[in-house]
């Protein structure tokens, strides 16, 4: 995520009482330096995730403050240690640190309520955490320490609360502006008792979709997802629509260490962990991204931001109010909610997230001698999606290598002579996108390479088409040299593309 979390890891000199850095590592009985103690920190995220810079900042701080005596080893995708990544990915990481397989973990606060820890549930109250300044206030100071203290019963000690950002509800077809927009629909969201309760209050069916189930839901265009501007492209792709002022929750992480590990450290080593955790959090807080700027980047990548009307927003909040009332029945939750409301009231209102439309690269003026870009309204514009497996491509004549390289979810957006082409490979989950142009000549659509800027060679492919309701099928597909191609025929014309906008 370029330009968003520029964690400044300026390794500051922090006084640790009378203990210097050399004392943290200690010495061996023979008088030489003690061996380095390596602690493994697990997260369900990949090394490229938005939260990854915080883990790296923490690791660098620990190494610096301990004089090299302590080392943090990140364990990325730690939820997949007992098999393929699946549902309950945050909870899997929690269980691994509690059981002793990991020493530390970075997991969202929302995940703890399914694991018998209720002290953090108030942070998942609907429409409570609605701005980055409020996240900063909540995650530092006495309130954060009190919230983390509730983790002791689970066998872990909280080192810091680490904010990530605000969450919204993204959709492919129409934006979620009211409870009726999600009633009866599957809403993909990380597992959390409180989080699930919020979306059930809207009439949605919350599910922790992953893997092939998520791919199928994305390919159909029917899924609605709880995510953030920073993460949605990796989850659904960038071509989604969101109401920027509908913020049902925020992501806050807990940085925890197993209590038995902490008990085995020296006092200086324990101080290093807590000091490094706070320093990494504070570096992040100094650079929390602006939500409006994130929305602008989202639109620049092909997304669309709208604004829910006051009545619609009130209906969403009112529908979720029973979840808040249920939390308030617990005096400790009510006290936390009241304290956060006081903090929120002292801050300026959250800045508006302005609406924006997808930003498509400009198409150069066509060469008068080139084939005219005349769609004439004949080609059915829109956003179309198709999923094909590697095996399916091979069965239609593609080579095994082409099948592996091209199997996955493909999305094409046709709009006013311009094309956005995206794919997410099923083999490794890698994503790519490109832009191009298209035109209609003699009842065939020509899709041209972006480098040309015109409907002239190089052409990606040409084809006829048939439209049946929301199903678009390419026929008589030819490659850029006007030849039949088994791969092209299988990939572009092997099955129908479903319109999802």
Catalogue all structural domains in the chain, each as residue range(s) with its CATH number: 21-345 (3.40.190.170), 382-499 (2.40.128.50)
Q: Select from 398, 299, 311 the least CA-distant residue to 356.
A: 299
pLDDT tens figures, 13-22: 333 332 333 3
- CB-hemisphere CA count at 13 Å for 18? 0
> Is residue 497's pLDDT more than 50?
yes
Which of the 8 DSSP states describes residue 188?
E
HEC readout, 15-26: CECCECHHHHHC
Quick one: CA torsion of 334, 335, 337, 339, rounded to 10 degrees?
160
> Is residue 423's pLDDT more than 50?
yes
The per-residue pLDDT for 48 is 87
Average of per-residue pLDDT across 430-459:
72
Q: Give the DSSP letter string of 273-322.
A: HHHHHHHHHHHHHTTPPPHHHHHHHHHHTT-EEE---HHHHHHHHHHHHH
The per-residue pLDDT for 19 is 30
Q: Where are the alpha helices (DSSP H) in 329-446?
A: 331-345, 390-395, 400-406
Which structure tokens are listed for 97? 């640190």
Give yes or no for a contact between 486 and 477, defined as CB atoms under 8 angstroms apart. no
Which is higher by pLDDT, 172 or 229?
Answer: 229
Give yes or no for a contact between 74 and 55, defined as CB atoms under 8 angstroms apart. yes
The per-residue pLDDT for 274 is 97
d(CA 450, CA 231): 27
Across 354-366, b (16+ Cβ under 10 Å) vs e yields: eebebeeeebeeb
Give just the sign of the alpha carbon dihedral 92, 259, 121, 7: negative
d(CA 85, CA 95): 14
Average of per-residue pLDDT across 63-84:
86
316 CA to centre of own chain: 23
Q: For residue 39, what are the contacts with CB-CB under 8 A and spacing of at least 6?
A: 70, 71, 72, 73, 103, 104, 257, 261
The per-residue pLDDT for 238 is 73
Which structure tokens are listed for 22? 């050399």
The per-residue pLDDT for 9 is 35
Give yes or no for a contact between 492 and 477, defined as CB atoms under 8 angstroms apart. yes
Q: For residue 377, what are the contacts with CB-CB under 8 A and spacing of at least 6?
A: none
The per-residue pLDDT for 244 is 96
Give yes or no for a contact between 127 and 252, defined as CB atoms under 8 angstroms apart. no
Q: For residue 375, what are the contacts with CB-CB under 8 A and spacing of at least 6?
A: 381, 417, 438, 439, 440
The per-residue pLDDT for 15 is 31
d(CA 294, CA 439): 33
Number of Cβ within a 10 Å radius of residue 207: 18
Q: For residue 243, what are the contacts with CB-CB under 8 A and spacing of at least 6?
A: 168, 169, 175, 176, 177, 305, 306, 307, 308
Q: Distance from first CA to last CA of the chain, Å, rounded?
A: 26
pLDDT tens figures, 365-397: 444 444 444 444 578 888 999 998 888 888 888
Q: Give the pLDDT band (50/70/90) at residue 83.
A: low
Which is higher by pLDDT, 25 or 214?
Answer: 214
Q: Is the pTM of this model over 0.85?
A: no
d(CA 137, CA 135): 5
pLDDT tens figures, 319-377: 999 999 999 999 999 999 999 999 999 999 998 999 998 765 554 444 444 444 444 45
The per-residue pLDDT for 454 is 57
The per-residue pLDDT for 300 is 84
């Amino acid at each position: 995520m370029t330009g968003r979390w520029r964690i400044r890891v300026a390794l500051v000199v922090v006084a640790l009482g009378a203990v210097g850095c050399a004392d943290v590592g200690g010495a061996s009985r023979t008088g030489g330096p003690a061996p380095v103690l390596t602690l493994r920190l697990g997260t369900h995220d990949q090394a490229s995730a938005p939260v990854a810079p915080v883990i790296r900042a923490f690791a660098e701080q620990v190494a610096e403050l301990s004089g090299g005596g302590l080392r943090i080893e990140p364990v990325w995708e730690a939820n997949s240690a007992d098999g393929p990544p699946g549902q309950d990915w945050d909870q899997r990481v929690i269980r691994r640190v509690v059981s002793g397989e990991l020493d530390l973990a970075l997991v969202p606060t929302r995940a703890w309520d399914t694991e018998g820890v209720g002290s953090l549930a108030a942070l998942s109250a609907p429409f409570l955490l609605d701005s980055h300044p409020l996240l900063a206030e909540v995650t530092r100071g006495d309130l954060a320490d009190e919230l983390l203290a509730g983790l002791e019963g689970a066998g872990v000690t909280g080192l810091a609360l680490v904010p990530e950002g605000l969450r919204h509800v993204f959709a492919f077809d129409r934006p979620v502006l009211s409870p009726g927009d999600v009633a009866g629909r599957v809403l993909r969201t990380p597992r959390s008792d409180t989080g699930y309760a919020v979306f059930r209050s809207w009439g949605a069916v919350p599910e922790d979709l992953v893997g092939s189930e998520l791919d199928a839901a994305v390919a159909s265009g029917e899924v609605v997802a709880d995510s953030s501007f920073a993460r949605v492209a990796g989850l659904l792709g960038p071509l989604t629509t969101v109401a920027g002022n509908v913020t049902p929750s925020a992501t806050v992480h807990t940085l925890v260490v197993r209590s038995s590990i902490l008990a085995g450290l020296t006092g200086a080593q324990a101080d290093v962990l807590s000091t490094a955790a706070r320093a990494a959090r504070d570096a992040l807080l100094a650079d929390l991204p602006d939500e409006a700027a994130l929305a602008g980047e989202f639109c620049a990548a092909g997304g669309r931001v709208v604004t829910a009307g006051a009545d619609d927003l009130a209906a969403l909040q009112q529908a979720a109010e029973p979840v808040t009332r249920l939390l308030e029945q617990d005096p400790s939750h009510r006290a936390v909610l009241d304290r956060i409301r006081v903090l929120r009231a002292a801050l300026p209102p959250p800045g508006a997230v302005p609406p924006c439309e997808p930003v498509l690269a400009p198409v150069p003026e066509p060469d008068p001698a080139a084939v005219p870009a005349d769609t004439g309204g004949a080609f059915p514009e829109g956003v179309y999606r198709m999923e094909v497996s590697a095996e399916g491509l091979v069965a239609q004549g593609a080579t095994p290598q082409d099948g592996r390289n091209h199997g996955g979810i493909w999305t094409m957006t046709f709009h006013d002579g311009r094309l956005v082409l995206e794919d997410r490979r099923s083999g490794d989950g890698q994503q790519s996108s490109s832009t191009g142009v298209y035109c209609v000549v003699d009842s065939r659509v020509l899709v041209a390479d972006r480098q040309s800027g015109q409907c002239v060679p190089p052409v990606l492919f040409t084809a006829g088409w048939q439209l049946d309701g929301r199903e678009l099928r390419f026929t008589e597909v030819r490659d850029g040299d006007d030849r039949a191609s088994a791969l092209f025929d299988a990939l572009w014309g092997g099955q129908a593309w479903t319109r999802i906008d």
